[in-house]
Amino acid sequence: MLRDIWISFRNLPAWVQIWMSVVLVPANLVPLAFLDQPYGTLIAGLAILGMALNLPIMMAERGMSRAMALPHLLFWTPMVLIIVYVLNTHTDLLPIYAQFLLVLLVVDLISLGFDLRDAILWNKNRKRQ
């Protein structure tokens, strides 16, 4: 099964592999370094849940699937709203935390754009079967 998942990942376009490996996954792991900051635990939990719940999907599908967009939409949508709230209401944030939140916001908004499209396509294909 792990081999199938790896092959599926490697069959994605190179830019998607780079996006996921170099930007998306690392950006959503960094919140673990800010657990002691305002809403840090909540943001980290939502970031990790959005990724972790892709594991059962990958296992069931034996690879990458458009259904992987669903946990992102479910957990990252409220997370980006919380980030916007924190950035607009907490003027005393550590500068490094505020900068990171901006990066995470941009990364996950980009991802959610792809995820919305993927979820729609996944749902259309599911209805046809």
110-119: pLDDT as tens digits: 999 999 999 9
Among candidate residues 90, 80, 93, 72, the one with its CA nearest the CA of residue 42: 80
Say what the pLDDT of residue 126 is.
Answer: 77
Count of the separate structural domains present in the chain? 1
Q: How far apart are CA 66 and CA 73, in angstroms?
A: 12
Say what the pLDDT of residue 129 is.
Answer: 58
Say what the pLDDT of residue 76 is.
Answer: 98
Give the range of the structural domain holding residue 108, as residue numbers without chain letter.
2-128
For residue 41, pLDDT over 90 is answered with: yes
pLDDT band at 9 (very low <50, low <70, confident <90, very high): confident
